[in-house]
Amino acid sequence: MYRERLELTDRVAVVTGGSRGIGLAVVTALVEFGARVVIADVLDDLGAEAAASFPDDRVSYVHLDVTDETAVAAVFAEVAERQGSVDILVTSAGIANHQPSLELERETWDRVMAVNATGTFWCAREAARRMGARGGSIVAIGSMSGELANAPQRQAAYNASKGAVHLAVKSLAIEFAEQNIRVNAVAPGYVGTELTKQGVPGEWWDDWVRRTPMGRLGAPEEIGSLVAFLASDAASYMTGSVVLIDGGYAAW
């Protein structure tokens, strides 16, 4: 009974930002539980390569800039037509920025918010439209930085964008509940990915590990496992939750 509730056999999932890092780990987890997955990303070469690495055509790739509202609508319409449904959405597309606020330019602020927050909203809305009355599961990749201003990096734009994602998740969970669409967020701590490493001095890594009670960075696969659970019927009474997975960082 319980094992069956974790299965995602033949459910159709869209994973934005699924070409690498946490997104690719999510794709792998969903496939292992039986889902068919569409990677939606702007990294065409990496995305196509990632999709081709899975057997039996379980994974396909489509180009998608999540900041383009029109493109988002078109991609979800295409996926629903080709695959027959959209049952799961995971919004993993994201960018980071480390910069003192007094030096932050409007263009950078707008870009971070557009990808991380607005893009999540566009995709969630279109997924809900395709899920309709039969329901589904939306899982946003947030961040512990949406719950606290972590040190030593200065990243007001990133923190604000992830905080917006978390509150949007709660709001959408209330709105979509009548359609049996569950909306949750996963809020990772420090995870060893290429996005995490971008522009980060080595001493920051040491500091992050020191501040994390478990004494290490997380692995993308650990995030993928949690997302697969939230996408499944094993989490059928969970909606509007922001689940921290941070090695205890926020417990101090």
What's the pLDDT at 142? 98
- Residue 15 β-bridge partners: 39, 90
**pLDDT attached to residue 92:** 98
Q: What is the pLDDT along the chain (252 residues), one digit of tens a residue?
A: 799 999 999 899 999 999 999 999 999 999 999 999 999 999 999 999 999 999 999 999 999 999 999 999 999 999 999 999 999 999 999 999 889 999 999 999 999 999 999 999 999 999 999 998 899 999 999 999 999 998 788 999 999 999 999 999 999 999 999 999 999 999 999 998 876 766 677 788 888 999 999 999 999 999 999 999 999 999 999 999 999 999 999 998
Give catalytic residue positions: 158
Question: How far is Cα 136 from Cα 122, in angstroms, rounded to an integer?
Answer: 16
Q: What is residue 198's predicted lDDT score, i.e. its pLDDT?
A: 66
How far apart, in whole angstroms, are the C-alpha atoms of residue 240 and residue 184?
A: 5
Q: Where are the beta strands (DSSP E) in the chain?
A: 12-16, 36-41, 59-63, 88-91, 136-141, 181-188, 242-245
**In this predicted model, what pLDDT tens digit does every residue of 104-117 receive, in sequence order?**
999 999 999 999 99
At 195 the pLDDT is 64
Q: What angle do CA 18, 159, 66 make, to 5 degrees?
A: 35
Q: DSSP assignment of 189-240, as one string?
A: -SB-SHHHHTT--HHHHHHHHHHSTTSS-B-HHHHHHHHHHHHSGGGTT--S
Q: In this structure, what token pair is assigned to residue 145?
A: 């930085």
CA distance 130 to 147: 30
**How far apart, in whole angstroms, are the C-alpha atoms of residue 250 and residue 68?**
34
pTM score > 0.85 for this model? Answer: yes
Total H helices, total E strands in the chain: 10, 7
Domain segments of the chain: what residues?
2-246
Over the stretch 161-178, which tens digit does the pLDDT of each residue have?
Answer: 999 999 999 999 999 999
Q: Give dist(CA 240, CA 185) in Å, integer.
A: 8
Write out the CATH class of domain 2-246: alpha beta
CA–CA distances in Å: residue 204 to residues 21, 146, 197, 210: 19, 19, 10, 10
pLDDT, residue 199, reads 64
How far is residue 138's CA from residue 176's CA, in Å, rounded to a whole number?
10
Query: Which is it for the CA torsion 22, 24, 25, 31, positive or negative?
Result: positive
